[in-house]
Structure 1
C-alpha cells in the first residue's frame, strides 16, 4: 500500500509521530566537499516539509557544524511542527580530549552547542552517535535523563552501539526510572543486512524504532557505479568526492554489484528507479520506522520520495532477499533451522503471534 510523508509512524515505544522517511541533513553544507550549498539545502528542506515531512536528522559535527546552523535557520518559523534529531559524541575540537566521547561533560556541552546552532531551546531527539567504549552506561543514561528533566531534550536514542550494550542500557533505564531509549540508528540496506542478526531483533523486543542510515549503501544501490569502478586506477581518496568515500569504504564489490543487478531488474519491472526499490525494501521491515535519506539535490530527493509509492509482489521480494542474503551466525542459524526447532518442539505445531 503506497505511503506518503504524512502517513506518520510512532517512534519506538514513544507516542512521537514521525514521517516514514527522515530527511538527512548531513548534506547541508559543502565543507566535506560534496554537500549542498545554502540555497540548494533550503530547497531540499522546503520540498520535504511541503510534502508533509516532519522528521529531520543531523549531528553536532556534520559539515563542521554547518548542517545544524542551516537547519536552524530553515526551521525557525515552523519549529513546533518539526521533529529535530541530532547527535553527540564525535570530536568537536581536535586536540581537546573532552570535546568528544559519551561522557557527561561532552554531552552537556554538545547539547548546548546544538541548541544554539539550531536556534531552539529543546531537541526532540538526541542520539549517542558513536560508542566510545570508555564511558559507563550509568553516566550516559543519567546525563540524558537529567537533560530530559531539564526540558532540553525530549527523547533519547543511540547509534553505532553494540546490541548487548543497548539492551543493557535499556534494562538499566527501565529499572531506575530513567528516560528509555526510543530509537536505534544503524546502517541498514540490501547490501548491509548484518543488523538482522542482533540489532534489529533487539530493537523490536525493547521498543526502539530503527532508523537506517545509508539505506542506499553509500549510493551503490542507485546503480550509478559499475564494475569498472572495481579496478579504478585513481586513488580512492584523491579527489575528496562522495565517490572517493564510497570506493575507500569498500562497498564496491562483486557481491554488491550482483545485488544491484537484482535491484535494477526489479526496478525495470515496476517502472521505478533502483534507488526507489532499494529504499522501499528497507521500509517493508516492520522494525524500521524511517530510513534517513541524504539527498544532495532536489532531483535526488524527489526520486527518493518516490520509494513511498513502491509495492512489491512476493516474487520480487524473494529475489531481492535471495541476492542480498547473509548468514545469521551462531546461534541464530541453529535456532532458525529445522534441527533447532526439532530440539525444542519435536514434531509439535506451535502457533506464534508475535
Structure 2
C-alpha cells in the first residue's frame, strides 16, 4: 500500500517520478514534461506547484498535459494564472481523421490559452494506414494484431461503417498524390488548428522514416476539405447540434438583413 499523497499528480509523486525520468534518460533536464491525465484526488494547484519547483530547480523547462476534458484544461490554466504558476504550453490529446472529439470543447480552450497540440495516435491506431479491414480481425505483428482490445483503439470499437468510409477518401487522395495513405492522414492532421507536432508510434526505423516523409506533402484546400467533411464529428443533439443550428440560423438572418 502506498502512503497517502504518493501517487497520481501529488507533489511527492511528481518530484519522485521526475527524478526517476532524469536518471533513466541520463539528462539534467527535460524540455517538455507532460502530466499524463487528471487526478481526482489531488488539487491541481498542488500538481502545478510541484511542477513549478521542478522548473525553478532547472529539471524541467516547460509543462504539458495529456488526456483532459475542456473544463479540466480550463481549471489548470486558471489555477496557474491565479497563483503565478507555469501555464501548460502543450496538450497531448488523441486526434486523427477518426477521432475529432476534442473540437467540441478541448480545442477551443487550448486555442484560447495559446496551448499547442501534440496529438497521439495520429493514424488511428493503424486504421489510417490501410492495414485493417472490416471482415478480417488483425493477427499479425501490429498494434491491434497483438492486442485487438487496445483501449479506445480496440478493433471491435473502431470497426464501424464510419471508420471505413474515412480511409476510402484518404485512399483516393493517396492514389492521386502517389503517396501512402498514412501521408495523407498525417498531412491533414498537421494542417489542423493548433497542431504543433505529431507523436508517431513507429515500431521500427523504416516506419519512422516513412512517416517523417509525410512532412514533404502539402495538401490542397480541396483535399483538406474533402477529408474534413468525410471525418466530420457527429454532434450530440444538445447542446452542440442545437447551438450549431442556432448559429447557422443567426448567420442567415444577418446575411438577409445585409
Task: Give the TM interval when normalised to the shorter protein.
Answer: 0.7 to 0.9
CA contact (8 A) 1:184 1:210 kept: yes
Is 1:286 aligned to residue 193 of structure 2? yes
1-side partners of 2:81 and 2:6: how far apart?
Answer: 29
2-side partners of 1:319 and 1:341: how far apart?
Answer: 21
SS of alignment partner, residue 158 of structure 1? strand
Query: Cα RMSD over matched residues?
Result: 2.5
Count of residue pairs the alignment pairs up: 249
1-side partners of 2:72 and 2:255: how far apart?
Answer: 35
Alignment-derived partner of residue 265 in structure 1: 172
Unaligned runs of 5+ in 1: 1-94, 350-354
2-side partners of 1:135 and 1:265: how far apart?
Answer: 48
1-side partners of 2:26 and 2:138: how far apart?
Answer: 45
Residue 233 of structure 1: CA displacement?
Answer: 9.4
Unaligned runs of 5+ in 2: none
Residue 310 of structure 1: CA displacement?
Answer: 1.6
1-side partners of 2:147 and 2:118: how far apart?
Answer: 21
Is 1:242 aligned to residue 150 of structure 2? no
Alignment-derived partner of residue 41 in structure 2: 134
Q: Which has the higher contact order (CA 8 A, sep 6+)?
A: 1
2-side partners of 1:343 and 1:168: how far apart?
Answer: 31
1:333 to 217, 237, 241: 241
2-side partners of 1:318 and 1:343: how far apart?
Answer: 24
Residue 262 of structure 1: CA displacement?
Answer: 1.1
SS of alignment partner, residue 155 of structure 1? strand
Residue 343 of structure 1: CA displacement?
Answer: 4.8
In structure 2, the CA distance between the partners of 1:341 and 1:265, relative to structure 1 (3 Å rule), is: closer
Which structure shows the bigger proportion of residues in helix conformation?
2
CA contact (8 A) 1:217 1:251 kept: no
Length-normalised TM-score, structure 2: 0.87
Length-normalised TM-score, structure 1: 0.65
